[in-house]
Structure 1
Amino acid sequence: MAGLIIEAAFTDFGSGASLRKMLLTPWPVMVRQLHIVILALVLCVAPGWWSGVAAAADPGFARFLAELWPQAREAGISRATFDAVTVGLEPDYKLPDLILPGRPKTGAPAQAEFVQVPADYLKEASIARLAAAGQKLFQQYQPTLRGIEQRFGVPATVVLAIWGRETDYGRYRLPYDAVRVMATQAYVGRRKDQYRTEFIMAMKIIDEGAVTRQGMRSSWAGATGLTQFLPSEYYKHGVDFDGDGKVDIWNSVPDALASAAQQLVNKGWKPSVRWAYEVRAPGNADCTRGVPELSQPIGQWLREGFTLARNDKLSASELAEPASLLQPEGIYGPAFLTTKNYFVIKEYNFSDLYVLFVGHLADRMTNPQPFATPWAATKQLRTADVEAMQRGLTRLGLYNDKIDGKAGMMTRSALGAYQKSARLKLDCWPSEAVLRSIEAAR
C-alpha cells in the first residue's frame, strides 16, 4: 500500500522527470505530494501502528456507550466514574455468545458440568485436594464461619465448598476484564438487555468504591469475585460481614462467604437439612421417577427398597424430609435422595454435577470417605447429539423442557420413558444407540 502511495505522489513527474520540471512544480502541489510521501514512509516503518488505530475505531460501540449515560446517571453513577470506566473502552469480539454481523452464530462455550462424565468432573484427586485445603481454611476462619452458620443457618463447609469450586479458594485468577465483558455482551451479546443492566450495576459498584476498575476480574460471562456473582446478584445478596462499611466480595473472605450464604438463604435454604443422601437403588427401581416434581419423604423411599449407602441412622425429622431421586448416570453409578437444599445449591449453578461437587466437597471436609458407589460411565454424548435427542423426544411427546444439549434430570427421565415405549433396556442414560433409535422413530 505504501509503495502505491509513493508511486501516486510522483505520477505528475513521469519516469524521466527532470530537476527543472520538479523545481517548476507549484509550491502547494509540491507540499501536498511531500505530505503523501511522508505518510507512505510512516506506513512503511510502522504498519502495525496504523492497523491498530484503524482497528480501535468502533464508532458504533462509542455511540452505544454514550447512550448509556442517562441510565447510568439515573442509577446514581457519577459522571467522573462513567467517563473513567468508558474512556478507551473497546469491545472484545473474541468472547463467546455474541451475535456479530457476517460471522457464524456461536453459543456459550460448553461447560464442563454438561460435557464431562461424572468421573471426570468429580475427580477424586481434585476433591481430596480441595477438602484438605478447606479443612485448613475452616481453622483459619473459624470465628467468621461460625458467625455465618449462626446468622444464616448455612453450614460453614457448604460456603467453603462454593468458594473452592468457584475460584479454588481465591487462588484462581479470573481471566477477563469484567467491565469489558459486560459492555461487549450488552452491545452484541445474545442477552443484551440483561447485560446492559449488569454493565450499569458494575459501574455503580466501582463508583461506590467496593472494588477498583482494575480489580473487577470475571469469567467470560461476567461473574466476578471470590464466589462468582454477577453485579445484580451482588446487590441482591451482598453482605458486609466484616463491618468495614462496604460489601467486598473480591478481597474480603468474610464478605464473600457471607454473601454466598445469603444467596442460598434468599433462594430458600432450609437450616439443619442435608443437601442429599447417597443411596443404593433396588433392582426394580424405575429411573424415570428421577425428576424434581416427584418428591416423597425419605422414609417412603427407604420403604420402597432404597438403602442408605453408609447405613446411617436417620432421625424422625430426616425420615420425614421430602426428597427426589437423582441418578446422574441412569441406573449406573451412585444414586441420591436430594432435598430442597440440593435444588437451592443448583440455583447457584444449574448443573447436577456442580451440586454434587459442592455437596460432596462439603461432606469431605468432615468425613474422608468418597462416594460409596463408583462412577461407571466412560463416555458423554456431544452437546449437539443431546440436543438432537431432546428434539426427538419432544417430537414424540415425551419431553417438554428446554432444548439445551444438557442431559439433566428431565432429559434422562424422558429418555427412560422412550426406552419403555420402545421396549429397550431401561437405563435412562443417553447413548449413541438410543439416539439412533429415537431418530429412526420418525
Structure 2
Amino acid sequence: MIFPRFLLAVLLVALTAQAPARAADAAFTAFIASLWPEAQAAGVSRATFERETRGLEPDYKLPDLVLGGRPATGARAQPEFVQVPADYVKEATIARLANEGRRLMQQHRAALEEIERRFGVPASVVLAIWGRETDFGRYTSPYDALRVTATQAYVGRRKEQYRTEFILALKILDEGVVSRKAFRASWAGATGLTQFLPSDYYAHRVDLDGDGRADIWGSVPDALASAASQLVGKGWQGGVRWAYEVRPPANADCTLAVPEVQASLGEWLRAGFVPVRGQKLSAAEQAQPASLLQPEGLYGPSFLVTKNYFVIKEYNFSDLYVLFVGHLADRMSDPKPFATPWSASRQLHTSSVEAMQTHLAGLGLYKDKVDGKAGMLTRSALGAYQKQAGLKVDCWPSESVLQSMRAAR
C-alpha cells in the first residue's frame, strides 16, 4: 500500500535527521567523562562529578557555538549593542531602580558601609550593578549554569575558557554553596545576584555576612562585597568618579573619543569642555587623566571618563552598560537626569555595522574585531572615514554613511 510506504519513508527521514544529534550527544558524554581528571585535580569529589554530570546534555540553541563545521553562531543580540542609548538607559527604568536603590541603601546600610571601608567602592555603585544585572534579585537567569558551561566547553568559540568555567562550576556545586536548582546562569555562564562567571567567583568571592560561605546567589552582603572585590581586582580607584558629563566646544573632534586619547581633566576643560550644570572640579579632580566618550557621536550627551569607567567596563564590555550603571549610581543621590538629552532614534542593524567595520578595516582606519557593535573605536573610525570622504563628521553609523561606503565599493 502507498500510505504505509509513505509513513515508512517519513520515519526513515526523521531517524536519519536525528542520528547526527545522537552521535554528537554521545561524543558530548564522552567529552564530559574525559574531564574527570581535571575536576579531580580541582578538588571536585567523584560523587559530585557523577551526580551532576549524569544525564547532562548539551544545549545547541545557545549562541556563540560552532556546530557541525558550520560558522560560529552569532552571540545573542545583547540590548547594549542593538538599542539606541535612550532605549537602553531608559529614564523610567533608571528612576524606578534609583528609588529602589535608595531604599536598599538604608536596608543594607551596615553591609554597604563595611564594603566602602574595605574596598573603597561606593555603595551606590555596587547597588547599581545589582540593579542592572538582576533587577535587585527579581530577575532569575534562564539557563542551567552547569549545562551552559559544559556546552560552551564542548562546541563554543572559547572552548578552553569554558573548560575551566565548567570545572569550577562543578567545584561550586561540590562545595554546596548553591543547589543545582538555584545555580542559574545567562547564556554565557554568568550567575548569581551580581552575575559572576565561576572563575570570577573564585577570584573575588567574599563572605561578608560571616556565615562561612561566600553566597552570591542568596546573600546580598556577599554578592555586593564580591562585586566590589571584583572591581578592585580590575583596578578600581577609591575616591574617583566614573565620569563627568560635559558640553563639548563647537569645534570638538569626535574622532578623539577613544580610550587611547587621554589628557587630564583640567586640560580637557581648558580645551573648552564645560562640566554641565556649573559643576566645579577640585584641583585633585582636574589632575586625573580622562578620555572623551560620545556614545552618539556629536549627538546626545558627552562625557569625560576616568579609569573607573573602564574598570566597570571590564565587568561588562559595553559603553551603554557602564553609562547605565554609572548614571544609576549617581541618581541614587541626585535625581537629575543627563543634562543633554539623547538624540538618536534608531541604530543600524548589526549586519550593516559589520559591513561598515569591514570597509573601514580595508581602508586601514579600523583595527578591532568585526562584530557589528558600534563602540568607541568604530565610531572614531567612522569619523575618520567621514573626514576622508568629505562627509559631515559626526562619528555616528547612519544610513547615509553606509550608502557612501557602498558607492565607493
TM-score range, shorter chain: over 0.9
Structure 2 residue 288 is the aligned partner of structure 1 residue 326: no
CA-to-aligned-CA distance 1:181-201 (integer Å, 9 cap, x gap) = 111111121211111110000
| Candidates 124, 128, 151, aligned match of 1:184 | 151
The amino acid across from 1:291 in the alignment is: V
Structure 2: give runs of 5+ residues left out of the alignment. Answer: 12-17
Alpha-carbon contact 2:133-2:195 (below 8 Å) kept: yes
User: Counterparts of 1:108-187 in structure 2 under 5 Å?
Assistant: 108-187=75-154
Residue in 1 that maps onto 2:359: 392
| Candidates 206, 213, 218, aligned match of 1:246 | 213
Describe the shift of the 1:436–1:232 C-alpha distance in structure 2 as closer, same or farther (beyond 3 A).
Answer: same
Structure 2 residue 238 is the aligned partner of structure 1 residue 271: yes
Residue in 2 that maps onto 1:30: none
The amino acid across from 2:388 in the alignment is: S
Residue in 1 that maps onto 2:15: none
Alpha-carbon contact 1:178-1:222 (below 8 Å) kept: yes
The Cα shift of 1:105 comes to 4.1
The Cα shift of 1:359 comes to 0.2
Residue in 2 that maps onto 1:401: 368
Residue in 1 that maps onto 2:337: 370
Question: 2-side partners of 1:102 and 1:259: how far apart?
Answer: 39
Describe the shift of the 1:61–1:344 C-alpha distance in structure 2 as closer, same or farther (beyond 3 A).
Answer: same
Alpha-carbon contact 2:72-2:157 (below 8 Å) kept: no
Structure 1: give runs of 5+ residues left out of the alignment. Answer: 9-42, 44-50
Structure 2 residue 202 is the aligned partner of structure 1 residue 235: yes
CA-to-aligned-CA distance 1:250-274 (integer Å, 9 cap, x gap) = 0011110001001110111010000
Residue in 2 that maps onto 1:76: 43
- Bigger Cα displacement from structure 2, 182-191 vs 101-110: 101-110
Residue in 1 that maps onto 2:408: 441
The Cα shift of 1:58 comes to 2.9
Relative to the length of structure 1, the TM-score reads 0.87
CA-to-aligned-CA distance 1:231-267 (integer Å, 9 cap, x gap) = 0111111111111111111001111000100111011
Question: 1-side partners of 2:52 and 2:282: how far apart?
Answer: 55
Question: 2-side partners of 1:102 and 1:354: how far apart?
Answer: 34
Identity among equivalent positions (%) equals 72
Alpha-carbon contact 1:56-1:90 (below 8 Å) kept: no
Residue in 1 that maps onto 2:305: 338
Alpha-carbon contact 2:168-2:198 (below 8 Å) kept: yes
* SS of residue in 1 equivalent to 2:278: coil
Please provide the CA RMSD for this pair: 2.2
Residue in 1 that maps onto 2:396: 429
- Bigger Cα displacement from structure 2, 286-295 vs 88-97: 88-97
The Cα shift of 1:4 comes to 6.5
Larger radius of gyration: 1
Question: 1-side partners of 2:276 and 2:313: how far apart?
Answer: 23
Question: 1-side partners of 2:146 and 2:385: how far apart?
Answer: 46
Question: 2-side partners of 1:310 and 1:235: how far apart?
Answer: 43
- Bigger Cα displacement from structure 2, 203-212 vs 54-63: 54-63
